[in-house]
Chains A and B, each alone.
Chain A
Amino acid sequence: MASIINEASVGSPVSGVAKTKAVADESPWVRRGLIGLVFVFLGVFLVMPLAVVLSGALAQGWDVYAKAVADPDTRSAVMLTLWVVAITVPLNTIFGVAAAWALARFDFRGRSVLTSLIDLPFAVSPVVVGLAYVLVFGRNGWLGPWLSAHGVQVIFAVPGMVLVTMFVTVPFVARELIPVLAERGQEEEEGALSLGASGLQTFFRVTLPAVKWGLLYGVVLTTARALGEYGAVSVVSGRVPGEMETLTLRVDMLYQNYQATAAFAVASLLAVIALVTLVLKTYLGDRKDDAKPA
């Protein structure tokens, strides 16, 4: 049984192109030209800026770098970012699994509408999302008076930042899981039930292991997006240094205040996280494809 190389699933751009022999052989010059072009393009637009960030961060020596990173405001930005991620990712994972399950398993009225709705965050600019949340949850918003009467502050506080981050990262887990679940079909689950397993046993022993690589892949993407979110968070945060600042906001703030080296230093933290994510993503993407049925 040969493993299937190409795949039709949405949202996994790293795979799919492997090992296809070109039927129409282009001339070697065309091939080299195209490959070279891609390398140059990626080099100029992706690798170089990252390199600049890292070199900029270390431009004035290791001490300055360490000091910028160790700054209390930066540390609190790291903590706040981790908090937002720690709340957002699990919630969106649960929601994503539930949504993917519903969309892949049931045929119901409004199914296609729901599928499009899940993609909405891809289409809407994060700044617009932030403004919308201000209009709903802000002091003069629809729910604002009720919320402040109950002593809950959403906008210019952590809850607002969590909410907008959740909005922005909704699609990733569901998008990864829907094709995997649809492709696996229901037979294995029915098999488990017929063998006497309960619903929970079926989910944890059969469904979840079957989709785990796709799920982890989705979680990594969600985490990366949550860490890097700027626009929406910037609108709802209020930007109080040392309090309502995430890493991305901190970078922006430092840069605006002409502290370029410190800005680069903090940005380098994000860049390192991004690289780790990239490695994880590639690894999980491969595993996900290996786990496909033969």
Chain B
Amino acid sequence: MSIQISGVSRRYGNHQALADIDLRIESGELVALLGPSGCGKTTLLRIIAGLEQPDTGTLELEGQDVVDRHVRERGIGFVFQHYALFRHMSVYENVAFGLRVRPRKQRLVEAEIKRRVHELLELVQLDWLADRYPPQLSGGQRQRIALARALAVEPRVLLLDEPFGALDANVRRDLRRWLVRLHDELHVTSVFVTHDQEEAMEVADRIVVMNAGRIEQYERPEVVYERPASAFVSRFLGDVNFFHGRILDGALHTEAFGLRPHEAAEQPSDGAIQAHVRPHEMVLHRNPRESSQLLKARVKRVRPLGAEVRIELAADDHERPVQAVVPRQQFIEQRYEVGEIVFVEPTQIHVFADRAGFAARSIAPDA
């Protein structure tokens, strides 16, 4: 079922949680709401669910306005951050709950409820836990039971609030892959909230990147990563090295890399820009180049990170360290030593208008 959100705003006292949100989610999609805490992503999810009301704006499910419809009549399944399983009920009764509270006329006979519950428990591969109680389950098991419970009412939309937030790293990785497979199987329109960009990249068909109550970008994961729409998105999606500079006469000028040709997609009036370079888009050379200016820097620290090696560099007139990541194989061949001088060449530079203090305000400064 498609979701259409138009002009939705929500304010809590002085805090503008959501400002004029427009968003369309197609039927069967798996969409991530990604952003730092306090960006409004959970509020948006709860508004879709009907657990919160928007101050203004409309919400349509499959073309029907549902703003005035109560949460229990919206046909949604909600998986809570802390699962919200009923602690005094067995796993079986938890999953059966949605079927038992139906109005008498629509209620299934006990045998049918039993069949459905076991079907769902098999779907989440936990049929053997039917008689246990929630406090006896592990975090990952609770999460899957919460999902089975939400699916029991055959929701037209599945909403998940930080579904993997409270789990160990390993369990979290397994579960999110499992969720993708489950979604491929069921194809129910799903929206989940996360602050973990890796999770969003791995799970979602499309990502809504949110900041301060607004949508910064809404695109497929690879587009969000390769062509971030704003400095905020660029920085939120992973480590970046950033440099101040100017666009002058169709050329990009930064102190670090001198003048480079640049087709400016965004040409700020005063020419001031931020240039972002991802660590893996930094190439290290042992010698300077004649053709273009490279950033001269000293190797300060070397950190192996599994398949890659992170190299921290200090440049003379650059106050914060510059990060470069090279494949392990390349590192083994080149053997960069702490203290040696290297020349850094960017293979790709993302350019954003430099609104004063913008980056510093929207993201906590990194190391």
User: CB distance B101 to A191 under 8 Å?
Assistant: no
User: CB distance B51 to A194 under 8 Å?
Assistant: yes
Decide if the interface of chain A is mainly helix, strand, loop or mixed: helix
- Cβ of B76 under 8 Å from chain A: yes
User: CB distance B98 to A206 under 8 Å?
Assistant: no
Q: Pick the contact of B72 from A1, A187, A198 — CB < 8 Å?
A: A198
User: CB distance B78 to A194 under 8 Å?
Assistant: yes
Residues of A within 8 A of B101 (CB): 192, 195-198, 201, 205
User: CB distance A197 to B97 under 8 Å?
Assistant: yes
Q: Give the complex CA separation of A278 and B311 in angstroms.
A: 69
Residues of B within 8 A of A201 (CB): 101
- Cβ of B353 under 8 Å from chain A: no
- Expressed in whole angstroms, the minimum distance between the Cβ of A248 and any Cβ of chain B is 38
Smallest CB gap from B81: residue in A: A187
Q: Which of B70, B82, B97, B152 has the most CB of A within 10 A?
A: B97
User: CB distance B51 to A192 under 8 Å?
Assistant: no
User: CB distance A1 to B80 under 8 Å?
Assistant: no
Smallest CB gap from B93: residue in A: A205
Q: Which of A195, A201, A291 has the most CB of B within 10 A?
A: A195
User: CB distance A190 to B80 under 8 Å?
Assistant: yes
- Expressed in whole angstroms, the minimum distance between the Cβ of A98 and any Cβ of chain B is 22
Using CB atoms and an 8 Å cutoff, list the residues of chain B in contact with chain A. 49, 51, 70-72, 76-78, 80-82, 84-88, 97-98, 101-102, 135-136, 149-150, 152-153
Residues of A within 8 A of B84 (CB): 187-188, 190-191
- Cβ of A209 under 8 Å from chain B: yes
User: CB distance A195 to B80 under 8 Å?
Assistant: no
- Beta-carbon contacts of A128-139 to B below 8 Å, as 1s and 0s? 000000000000
Known: A196-B102, A197-B97. A191 touches B88 (CB 8 A): no
User: CB distance A188 to B86 under 8 Å?
Assistant: yes
Q: Nearest 6 A-B pairs (CB), nearest first?
A: A187-B84, A195-B98, A191-B84, A294-B135, A197-B101, A194-B78
Identify 6 new A-B residue pairs, CB closer than 8 A, beyond the known A194-B72, A195-B150, A209-B86.
A194-B71, A194-B76, A196-B102, A197-B97, A197-B101, A198-B101
- Expressed in whole angstroms, the minimum distance between the Cβ of B187 and any Cβ of chain A is 21
User: CB distance A293 to B135 under 8 Å?
Assistant: yes
Q: Give the complex CA separation of A187 and B86 in angstroms.
A: 10
Could you show 27 A-B contacts with beta carbons less than 8 Å apart? A188-B84, A188-B86, A188-B87, A190-B51, A190-B78, A190-B84, A191-B78, A191-B80, A192-B86, A193-B70, A195-B149, A195-B153, A196-B98, A196-B102, A196-B153, A197-B98, A197-B101, A198-B72, A198-B101, A201-B101, A205-B86, A205-B97, A205-B101, A209-B88, A210-B86, A210-B88, A291-B87
